[in-house]
Amino acid sequence: MLISISQQAVNYIDYVVIGLSSAMFLMGLSGALYTIIYSFKSQKIASQEFNYLWRSRLLSQILASCYALSELLRLQALWGPNSVMISGGYQAEIMCRLFIAIQFGFLEPSFLLLALFSCVYSVQGHGARSHPNSNIVFFALGLSLPFCAGQIIAGLFSKVFVFDYSNRISYTFFSTSDTSETEHCQISTGNGYDVTSDQCYFCVFPLLSTLISAGFAVFFLIVFGRVTQRIAAAVINKILIRRMRCLQLSVAVLFPMSVACRGVTVLFYPFELGFEILRLVNVVCVACMVLSISSILVVQPTHDAYITDLHLKKLAHGSKICLKSKAVVDEDAPISAPQSSNSELTGTPPKDIELGQRGADVHNGSSHSEGAYSQSKEGLYVPLVHRER
């Protein structure tokens, strides 16, 4: 026998979802602000090379924030007949359809594909002149269009095509909302008796929508696994390798679990314990996945670029002190006859002059060789120090 829970218990679950969505929204907003603030502060060419994907990161955080807010579209506590905001509810059926189309059709694939192509450009090591941000956004949005079209069809199918949705199979595959729970749709009129609200709709996950998401998940996980494996193999820093492994594990576990929870909900109806637990687990999986991707691909690389910029400033300051000290020593040194050295015979400048010139170049923000950085300039790698040719 299936266990049903009360309206108050469902409202508490909705409040938990609101809290998680709010936390995700604030996290995405903070990441976006952090990316913008540092990008305008970063002026040196060397540090800019580590942060040239800041526009893609900014868009990723905006999508993460919208991804979080879209979860609010399906909550009974906000739009259903027992809404805490609007008496009797507001457009509950339309909100259920919008939720399917917006979250599963646009925000979810766009956010994940943006992360995927950011990793792809990190492996390829494209320079800032090749317009990688535009390419990343173009490919991410372009590839998400087929899945978006499929989810729009899934969301509108029961509206456009008239079937007997009291049939279990039709209801499972195509219905975006349940209308059978009339006992939860009673609202007080203030005259001593209750009436059934005309907003008696409770959002469910149609199996057609879940199958489309499952197809996207298979495609995404295969490509994402290969790309992140190449990054982990190319990185020489153990900390960065651990980051990549954590990213691989979190996405490979949380995304399929989220899709699976949505698929299993077809075995239950709203207000049944199994349905409510599964939808809550789905939200938790999405929140953890977004947190993992944003932290590893946006916040940490931006922080690494910031640390790199600090080291470059310290190096430039040290080179200034060395040059001033050498100038004072040269002024106090007695004049003597020039002596030949290997540097005169080979045409190579002495070591102290060479080092001084390098310090001056770093201070001016110039770089003689792109080899001063690791294979990926996206920020996932730490700058490597190579000798000048």
For the stretch 274-290, pLDDT in tens is 999 999 999 999 999 99
pLDDT confidence of residue 194: 56
Contact 45, 365 (CB under 8 A): yes
Give the whole-angstrom CA distance, residue 41 versus residue 46. Answer: 13
Asked if the structure places residue 214 within a domain, the reply is yes
Q: Is the model more confident about 2 or about 352? A: 2
Asked if the structure places residue 46 within a domain, the reply is yes
Q: Please give the helix or strand (H or E) that residue 227 lies within, else none.
A: helix 207-234
Q: How many domains is the chain built from?
A: 1
Give the whole-angstrom CA distance, residue 115 versus residue 39. Answer: 19
Asked if the structure places residue 340 within a domain, the reply is no
What is the distance, to the nearest Å, from the Cα of residue 94 to the centroid of all Cα atoms in its chain?
A: 27
**Confidence class for position 83, pLDDT limits 50, 70, 90:** confident
Instruction: Tell me the pTM.
Output: 0.76
For the stretch 297-355, pLDDT in tens is 888 887 777 776 666 667 766 666 676 666 655 555 555 544 444 443 334 444 444 44
Q: Does the pLDDT of residue 62 top 80, yes or no?
A: yes
DSSP assignment letter at 368: S
Q: Does the pLDDT of residue 46 top 70, yes or no?
A: no
pLDDT confidence of residue 95: 92
Asked if the structure places residue 236 within a domain, the reply is yes
Q: Does the pLDDT of residue 192 top 60, yes or no?
A: no
Q: Does the pLDDT of residue 111 top 80, yes or no?
A: yes
Whichever domain contains 115, its CATH number is: 1.20.1070.10
Mean per-residue pLDDT, 37-64: 72
Using alpha carbons only, what angle is made at residue 87 by residues 81 and 88, rounded to the nearest 5 degrees? 30
Asked if the structure places residue 298 within a domain, the reply is yes
Q: Per mean pLDDT, which range of 52-61, 163-172, 322-331 is the poorest?
A: 322-331
DSSP assignment letter at 268: S
**Confidence class for position 39, pLDDT limits 50, 70, 90:** low
Q: Is the model more confident about 192 or about 178? A: 178
Q: What Cα–Cα distance (Å) separates residue 175 from each residue in 92, 168, 320, 345?
A: 14, 10, 70, 85
Which domain covers residue 297, as residue numbers? 7-303
Percent of the chain with pLDDT over 70: 69
Nearest to 118 by CA among 130, 143, 136, 139: 136
Asked if the structure places residue 104 within a domain, the reply is yes
Contact 274, 294 (CB under 8 A): no
pLDDT confidence of residue 234: 80
pLDDT confidence of residue 3: 85
pLDDT confidence of residue 319: 66
pLDDT confidence of residue 311: 66
Residue 4 backbone dihedrals phi, psi, to 5 degrees: -100, 150
Q: What Cα–Cα distance (Å) separates residue 372 from each residue in 155, 312, 369, 378?
A: 51, 12, 6, 14
Give the whole-angstrom CA distance, residue 206 versus residue 189. Answer: 33
Contact 196, 185 (CB under 8 A): yes
Kindly give, in sequence order, each residue whose CB lies less than 8 Å from that of residue 184, ignoring residues fewer than 6 positions away.
7, 81, 82, 200, 202, 271
For the stretch 195-204, pLDDT in tens is 566 678 889 9
DSSP 43-108: -SHHHHHTSTTHHHHHHHHHHHHHHHHHGGGG-HHHHSTT-SSSTT-S-HHHHHHHHIIIIIIIIH
Helix, strand or coil for residue 192?
coil
Nearest to 207 by CA among 100, 65, 338: 100
Asked if the structure places residue 23 within a domain, the reply is yes
Q: Does the pLDDT of residue 118 top 90, yes or no?
A: no
pLDDT confidence of residue 69: 92
Give the whole-angstrom CA distance, residue 185 versus residue 72. Answer: 20
Helix, strand or coil for residue 365?
coil
Give the whole-angstrom CA distance, residue 226 versus residue 348. Answer: 46
pLDDT confidence of residue 374: 43
Q: Does the pLDDT of residue 134 top 60, yes or no?
A: yes
Mean per-residue pLDDT, 381-388: 39
pLDDT confidence of residue 122: 72
Contact 80, 187 (CB under 8 A): no
* Residue 333 CB neighbour total at 10 angstroms: 8
pLDDT confidence of residue 266: 92
**Confidence class for position 17, pLDDT limits 50, 70, 90:** very high
Give the whole-angstrom CA distance, residue 263 versus residue 214. Answer: 9
pLDDT confidence of residue 42: 52
Q: Does the pLDDT of residue 178 top 50, yes or no?
A: yes
Q: Does the pLDDT of residue 139 top 70, yes or no?
A: yes
pLDDT confidence of residue 34: 84
Using alpha carbons only, what angle is made at residue 114 by residues 109 and 117, rounded to the nearest 5 degrees? 120
Average pLDDT of the chain is 77
Asked if the structure places residue 360 within a domain, the reply is no
Give the whole-angstrom CA distance, residue 116 versus residue 17. Answer: 27
pLDDT confidence of residue 107: 95
Give the whole-angstrom CA distance, residue 96 versus residue 158. Answer: 12
